[in-house]
Chain A
């Protein structure tokens, strides 16, 4: 199972992709909370980010000094090629499963 990523890791990677140039710690946390409507602890988020970076799925750089954070710089993240590849492979797997499902997965509330 090459390049396995977990559900939360996938979520973080996709959120980084969504945020584009503005992907830094707090922004990612808020974005996930807003979209997925779930509480995300900053510790868990940073641990995951650290792991993703170790796996080579994202890379990071430090931005310029900011006013609102006591002058502290932000660390921005972006996807690497292998990060994109990992997202692709998991998506292909999902699509494949969706298409081959023997049960009707459509949720037709009108019926």
Chain B
């Protein structure tokens, strides 16, 4: 027995595992117990059983509460006294963190700048998001308000429309149970209010029923909520639109003359409302629609179950009513109404508080859904991530400096956990400092951004409120954690013996490849942005100089208002500065042109054709090229029967040559129109769109603009002359001439916005990349200062030293260029410019100039530091040891 005992030992690995897990000091007694039990087992069972029992027990003990507790205790027993609480530690981390940051000012500055720049776009996105979540949170009944939305599925695509059919509201009101109120909307009230002075003021809003004020909390400043929207042609104005229209006068009871619609009586003034997804300047009584429909305006189809546009239905449910029950009733209505359609339509309810975020089609007011938000947040990440990389990069780059400190801390009993927290704390402090910088940038960006989104200005004010401030702070802390987690992990894992023994610490430079990779990625991103700017500017200039096929110089478009076109012509022709005059219904090269459906015969398919109404002088006035036939006849009756088509029209109807088309008749709006002439294709829509089938028609009633071609170059004098003539022709009416050139330029405003956005993002990306590069250069040159000193002593010139120091970095930028150019080319050529039918393409000039800009900036960054080191007296670096 004794013999056996001496030669048998328990298996070694369970104990090793156990002590590794718990810490060897803490489990001496447990290990002893286990061994004792093993030898007891050995007395009455075979060796393998005893070993198996031993292993089993160790594993059980490993997972026991005892082991967990010992492990914890072991970790804490050295460093933090057990009495020290979390706050004490946090306080100490903070203090030491601040000292470190103050000690290394360059590092702090670079990081605060970098993270601050990186965060500002994120702040904008956050502030916008906070604003969106506050939409419609002021309704007392908010929890019970629902909107009926229409699900549409035709097999190919599924869509959810925010709108419903018009008769639904009435049906719900009569037949449904559990509904307290129904609010119908027609979303398309819009018109020009004719002021007593003759000026036109645009006004837009909704048609809605008196129940509106019952369901939603829009308080009235004046007027009676019960009756304000009762009678046809009553209108309720918001405070600001009332002020716009009437100034200081009392608006109640006043008449508003709306062009082409009639006279409305102002019955109420609504207090300017906080954020709502509804966006209106005026509310018009719903009963007006019935009158307009009776008058034969086809735009108002109150009884048709067919189109799902324009009409919206909101419900206020009885408290406690289950929306699912209402949906069941709605399903029945949908079944009976839409049974004849091939597509599947279905009504569903949508809670009020989810409305602006839902990405539905045909949204009544503000649409700011998850899609827009996602794009926004992606962009902010695109800027933020490089800044975080920078931090990681720079911190790990500093490991040379701080490794010793960490080694000492560890020897003195600092645990991984403590080092980790220490570094994380430093990052969070930096990110909070950056928040101040970012907020500053945000305040400036806010103004620019708000100016770009016109409709949003009611919803977004992007003021810093408490919720936004808290969101910002959380964002900063989160950014700090994201940026700091890798350096913190890295430093906490450093081996104290290694760091203390070996000052040069070469092994730790294994991270260099990752750092280089990150730098390359940053510069690639920057280059893509710079390329974007260059390409967009080219597109912009291309669009400006593009020959749209008609004369746009020196043409002044004057809105006719109520002036008779013939009178205008006779009066203005008398002026010497006027070369020629024509009339048109819209501006070419804009979105304004209307379209209609055209058939070649009764049985033929309808084709959508864009149209403009012009007089006989239009073609010559705008120098459009006639390919065949002639312009409109001087006889109005004959002219009204004819059209002048473009080449695309011929292609649409498969007519081989212009000559063939002449005299052919087409069915337009139940009317036979004969082709009188064929013009060469010109861009009747903005350059983003392809030239579509198009024709000119003659209907003097539709003329809205006089196109005055000026002969004189003295614009100022001509304008005064024109204005005085205008005063004679149309006393009291506003003279609002617009140059055709300027109007066309407005079509490119989207591009200028894009240039702004790309330019700004590019600037941010470039600054972040350069800051990162600068820091890397600084740390590398510092650590190689001695080497350079020796090189100089041995006879290297300043230039040689600079090349040696800079070479690596220039190579990185070079690699970034190689990566970014194809990506940028693909992105802009295949994706972005797809939105522009007539596009400039991407030339070598844009690519080369972008690369040059990037190279110059990075060379400047690198050179600023390497030159200093290279010029330094070698004695300086070699003397100190």
Where the two chains meet, the residues of A that have a C-beta atom closer than 8 Å to any C-beta of B are: 24-26, 29, 41-44, 46-47, 49-51, 54, 62, 66, 68-70, 72-75
Q: A42-B60, A42-B61, A47-B65 are in contact. Are A25 and B29 (CB under 8 A)?
A: yes
How many angstroms from the CA of A44 to the CA of B65 in the assembled complex?
Answer: 8
Given contact pairs A42-B61, A70-B35, a sample of 9 additional A-B residue pairs in the complex whose CB atoms are under 8 Å apart: A24-B29, A25-B29, A42-B37, A43-B57, A43-B63, A47-B64, A54-B69, A68-B39, A70-B31
How many angstroms from the CA of A68 to the CA of B32 in the assembled complex?
Answer: 9
Q: Is the CB of A43 within 8 A of B64?
A: yes
For chain B, residues 27 to 84, give those with C-beta under 8 angstroms from any C-beta of chain A: 28-37, 39-40, 57, 60-61, 63-67, 69-70
How many angstroms from the CA of A43 to the CA of B34 in the assembled complex?
Answer: 10
How many angstroms from the CA of A41 to the CA of B37 in the assembled complex?
Answer: 11
From A42, A46, A72, contact of B28 by CB (8 A): A72
From A25, A44, A50, A62, contact of B33 by CB (8 A): A25
From A26, A43, A68, contact of B61 by CB (8 A): A43
- Chain A residues within an 8 Å CB radius of B70: 50
Q: How far is the CB of B75 from chain A (nearest CB, A)?
A: 16
From B35, B63, B65, contact of A72 by CB (8 A): B35
Where the two chains meet, the residues of B that have a C-beta atom closer than 8 Å to any C-beta of A are: 28-37, 39-40, 57, 60-61, 63-67, 69-70
The closest CB in chain B to the CB of A72 belongs to B32
The closest CB in chain B to the CB of A41 belongs to B60
Q: A50-B65, A54-B69, A72-B28 are in contact. Are A43 and B60 (CB under 8 A)?
A: yes
The closest CB in chain B to the CB of A49 belongs to B66
Q: How far is the CB of B817 from chain A (nearest CB, A)?
A: 62
- Chain B residues within an 8 Å CB radius of A66: 32
The closest CB in chain A to the CB of B59 belongs to A43
Q: Is the CB of B35 within 8 A of A42?
A: no
- CB < 8 Å A-B pair total: 69
Q: Is the CB of A73 within 8 A of B28?
A: yes
From A47, A68, A75, contact of B29 by CB (8 A): A75
- Chain B residues within an 8 Å CB radius of A29: 33, 37
Q: A41-B60, A72-B28 are in contact. Are A51 and B65 (CB under 8 A)?
A: yes
- Chain A residues within an 8 Å CB radius of B67: 46
Query: Max chain A CB contacts within 10 Å: which of B29, B30, B64, B65?
Result: B29
Q: How far is the CB of B32 from chain A (nearest CB, A)?
A: 3
- Chain B residues within an 8 Å CB radius of A69: 32-33, 35-36
How many angstroms from the CA of A46 to the CA of B69 in the assembled complex?
Answer: 11
- Chain A residues within an 8 Å CB radius of B33: 24-26, 29, 42, 46, 69, 74
Q: How far is the CB of A27 from chain B (nearest CB, A)?
A: 9
- Chain B residues within an 8 Å CB radius of A68: 36, 39
Q: How far is the CB of A1 from chain B (nearest CB, A)?
A: 21
Q: Is the CB of A46 within 8 A of B66?
A: yes
How many angstroms from the CA of A66 to the CA of B35 in the assembled complex?
Answer: 12
Q: Is the CB of B61 within 8 A of A46?
A: yes
Q: A26-B37, A51-B65, A68-B39 are in contact. Are A46 and B32 (CB under 8 A)?
A: no
- Chain B residues within an 8 Å CB radius of A74: 29, 32-33
- Chain B residues within an 8 Å CB radius of A54: 69
The closest CB in chain B to the CB of A71 belongs to B32
The closest CB in chain B to the CB of A76 belongs to B29
The closest CB in chain A to the CB of B53 belongs to A42
Q: Is the CB of B35 within 8 A of A46?
A: no
- Chain A residues within an 8 Å CB radius of B36: 26, 68-69
Q: Say whether chain B's binding surface is mostly helix, strand, loop, or mixed.
A: helix
Q: How far is the CB of A33 from chain B (nearest CB, A)?
A: 11
- Chain B residues within an 8 Å CB radius of A46: 30, 33, 61, 64, 66-67
- Chain A residues within an 8 Å CB radius of B69: 50, 54
Q: How far is the CB of B12 from chain A (nearest CB, A)?
A: 12
- Chain A residues within an 8 Å CB radius of B29: 24-25, 62, 72-75
- Chain A residues within an 8 Å CB radius of B63: 43
From A42, A47, A75, contact of B57 by CB (8 A): A42
Q: How far is the CB of A72 from chain B (nearest CB, A)?
A: 3
From A24, A44, A62, A72, contact of B64 by CB (8 A): A44
- Chain A residues within an 8 Å CB radius of B40: 26
Closest 4 CB pairs of A and B: A72-B32, A75-B29, A43-B60, A46-B66
How many angstroms from the CA of A72 to the CA of B67 in the assembled complex?
Answer: 17
- Chain A residues within an 8 Å CB radius of B60: 41-44
How many angstroms from the CA of A54 to the CA of B66 in the assembled complex?
Answer: 11
Would you give 25 A-B contacts (Cβ < 8 Å), ordered by A? Answer: A25-B32, A25-B33, A41-B57, A42-B33, A42-B57, A42-B60, A43-B63, A46-B30, A46-B33, A46-B67, A47-B66, A50-B65, A50-B70, A51-B65, A66-B32, A68-B36, A69-B35, A69-B36, A70-B32, A70-B35, A72-B29, A73-B28, A74-B32, A74-B33, A75-B29
Q: How far is the CB of B423 from chain A (nearest CB, A)?
A: 32
Q: How far is the CB of A78 from chain B (nearest CB, A)?
A: 15
How many angstroms from the CA of A101 to the CA of B31 in the assembled complex?
Answer: 47
The closest CB in chain A to the CB of B39 belongs to A68
How many angstroms from the CA of A49 to the CA of B234 in the assembled complex?
Answer: 84
- Chain B residues within an 8 Å CB radius of A75: 28-29
Q: How far is the CB of B617 from chain A (nearest CB, A)?
A: 100
How many angstroms from the CA of A110 to the CA of B785 in the assembled complex?
Answer: 102
How many angstroms from the CA of A8 to the CA of B64 in the assembled complex?
Answer: 16
Q: How far is the CB of A39 from chain B (nearest CB, A)?
A: 12
- Chain B residues within an 8 Å CB radius of A44: 60, 64
How many angstroms from the CA of A49 to the CA of B64 in the assembled complex?
Answer: 11
How many angstroms from the CA of A68 to the CA of B2 in the assembled complex?
Answer: 12
How many angstroms from the CA of A75 to the CA of B64 in the assembled complex?
Answer: 18
- Chain A residues within an 8 Å CB radius of B35: 69-70, 72
Query: Max chain B CB contacts within 10 Å: which of A25, A43, A54, A68?
Result: A43
How many angstroms from the CA of A70 to the CA of B37 in the assembled complex?
Answer: 12
Q: How far is the CB of B144 from chain A (nearest CB, A)?
A: 46
- Chain B residues within an 8 Å CB radius of A72: 28-29, 31-32, 35
The closest CB in chain A to the CB of B15 belongs to A70
How many angstroms from the CA of A74 to the CA of B37 in the assembled complex?
Answer: 13
The closest CB in chain A to the CB of B69 belongs to A50
- Chain A residues within an 8 Å CB radius of B64: 43-44, 46-47
Q: How far is the CB of B109 from chain A (nearest CB, A)?
A: 49
Q: How far is the CB of A59 from chain B (nearest CB, A)?
A: 14
Q: How far is the CB of A21 from chain B (nearest CB, A)?
A: 16
Q: How far is the CB of B38 from chain A (nearest CB, A)?
A: 10
How many angstroms from the CA of A94 to the CA of B626 in the assembled complex?
Answer: 114
The closest CB in chain A to the CB of B40 belongs to A26
How many angstroms from the CA of A7 to the CA of B61 in the assembled complex?
Answer: 21
Q: Is the CB of A25 within 8 A of B30?
A: yes
How many angstroms from the CA of A91 to the CA of B195 in the assembled complex?
Answer: 97
The closest CB in chain B to the CB of A46 belongs to B66
Q: How far is the CB of A22 from chain B (nearest CB, A)?
A: 13
How many angstroms from the CA of A68 to the CA of B35 in the assembled complex?
Answer: 9
Query: Max chain A CB contacts within 10 Å: which of B31, B39, B61?
Result: B61
The closest CB in chain B to the CB of A44 belongs to B64
Q: Is the CB of B28 within 8 A of A43?
A: no
How many angstroms from the CA of A69 to the CA of B5 in the assembled complex?
Answer: 12
How many angstroms from the CA of A68 to the CA of B69 in the assembled complex?
Answer: 27
The closest CB in chain B to the CB of A53 belongs to B69
